[in-house]
Every structure is written in structure tokens, then in C-alpha cells.
Amino acid sequence: MADRRFHGRRALVTGASRGIGAAVARRLAAEGADVAIVARTLDQHDRLAGSLRETAAGLQAFGGAVAIVPGDLADDADRARLVPEAVAALGGPIDILVNNAAAALYQPLAEFPLKRRRLLFEVNVHAPLDLAQAVVPAMREAGRGWIVNVSSGAARLWAGPPFDVGPTGSAISVYGASKAALNRLTNGLAAELVGTGIRVNAVEPRAAVLSEGARELVGATLRPDQIESMEEMVEAVVALCNCDSAVTGQTVVSLDLIDAWGLTVRGLDGSAP
């Protein structure tokens, strides 16, 4: 049976039409949270499985409030309305913000066009900060809040030469740069908010999590030892959605956090293994 540790809390999860976002939203709802889900895909994507309506249908089984808030995180006008709409739909301010949505475009740097670079930074850097800025005032007033940014190992620098760049090569560099920027903003915002009760952390998978998008991008290039389960990644994310106020400003690795905190990896419905 699922714990109810998030009962009475309102969460907003981006990129929740599929993948990690949909799985995190499910786990939060299973443990009692009211959840607003954000993504572009309301009904059907032209290539990938999953939609906001499908995610919402799964969340409603847990009995809490569910708000569908479609929006394009690359559009600053869309970003500006997401938190107010979620607050109105859930009937109160956001306690937990999970910035999971990401644009992942891989291309050699010598050929990477400016338009695509701007898109990556709009979705992966500006959107998380805009949403954080929108939820912080109410969190500050309440004296508590949790902001979790989903990062990536692609943010790390390669030692070299020679450079061990992995299966994606240098084509992942702009995406990695956007995630490195997200990590730095996570740390800076946490430092700015210390003492308010607002925790701001980032978490990256130790290995690839084969969401629908990741499976299409890199799934065929990975060995089994380069993959971690969706349940493991979600366990780390939701742990940071309930962490003590002393845990802030960190960028952690999913499996390392599970080991360090002695966490039991539960199912997406919160059930024991």
C-alpha cells in the first residue's frame, strides 16, 4: 500500500505526457498529492506514445485532484500562464514543482543552428527558472516548498584528450550545456532562498532511463549496464520532493542518492517491491 506522505500538497510536473514526468506525477498522486500536469501533447503525439489525457486518466484512480494544463515551454507567453492556471485548477498554491520537461536535440557543434540552440535553452533553462519564480512567492509565504529540476549526466565535462565521448559523441554538447546551466541555477536559487524553507535541488540519472523519447534517440546504442529503471529515477525525484530543508542546492545522481539515503525503490503506484 502506498504511503500518503504528499497528502494535502499540490504538485506541478512538467513534461508529464510521458516518460519520467508522467511517472513522477503518478507516484506523487499515488502518495496523496493533488497534481497539475503540463506538456504540449494533450491528445496524441505524431510519433511518441503518451498524452496528458492518458496521464490524467491514470492519476484519477488515486482519488486526488488532477489538473491538465497544456502548454509549450518554449513559448514565454505560455510559461507565464501555467502556474496561475494550475493554482486555480487545484484550488491553492503549488507546494512541489518538478521541472522535468526537456528539449533534447543532438547535432555536431560545427553544424548546430542558432534556432535549435535557442530552443534548447528556452525549454531547459529559461522555463524552469520562470516556473520557479512563479511558485516561490507562495512557497516563501508558506515557509516551505520543494523545487526539483531534472538534470542530466550530459552536463559533465569530458576529460582528455583523448576524449571518451560515448555513443552520442559531441552532438550532445549543447543539450549538456543547457543542463549544466540548470545545475548552476539550481545551486544559485537555493543559496538565495536558504532559510525560507524552500528546498531547490537537481537530480540526474546515473544511467539512461529509457523513456519514449530517450528510447528513440539513443536506445539502440546502449548496453544493459548503461540503463536504469524508471522506478529508480522516480524514487530519487520524489525523495527530493519531501526532503528536509537542510537538503538544498545539490545536484545529485539518482542511484547514488538511493544508496546514500537507504531508499527502497517502490513501484510507480507507491507499492512495495
Distance CA 115, CA 120 (A): 9
pLDDT of residue 224: 60
- Give residue 225's pLDDT: 61
Residue 266 falls within a domain, yes or no? no
Tell me whether residue 267 is in a domain: no
Residue 138 in contact with residue 94, Cβ under 8 Å?
Answer: yes
Over residues 201-216, the pLDDT tens digits come to 999 998 778 655 555 5
The catalytic site residues sit at 175
**Number of domains comprising the chain:** 1
| Strand (E) or helix (H) holding 202 | strand 198-204
**Is residue 273 included in any domain, yes or no?**
no
From CA 142, how far away is CA 196, in angstroms rounded? 9
Residue 3 lies in a domain: no
Q: Please state the pTM of the whole predicted model.
A: 0.93
| pLDDT in the model for residue 213 | 53
pLDDT at 227: 72
Question: Does residue 132 sit within a domain?
Answer: yes
User: Does residue 214 fall inside a structural domain?
Assistant: yes
User: Is residue 1 assigned to a domain?
Assistant: no
Q: What is the pLDDT of residue 169?
A: 87
- The reported pLDDT for the residue numbered 135 is 98
Residue range of the domain that includes 86: 10-261
53 φ, ψ to 5°? Answer: -65, -40
| pLDDT tens figures, 56-109 | 999 999 999 999 999 999 999 999 999 999 999 999 999 999 999 999 999 999
Whole-angstrom distance, CA of residue 97 vs CA of residue 135: 8
**211: helix, coil or strand?**
coil
CATH number of the domain residue 197 falls in: 3.40.50.720
Residue 146, classed as helix, strand or coil, is: strand
Could you tell me if residue 208 is inside a domain? yes
Residue ranges of the chain with per-residue pLDDT less than 70: 1, 44-47, 49, 210-226
What is the maximum alpha-carbon separation in the chain? 55
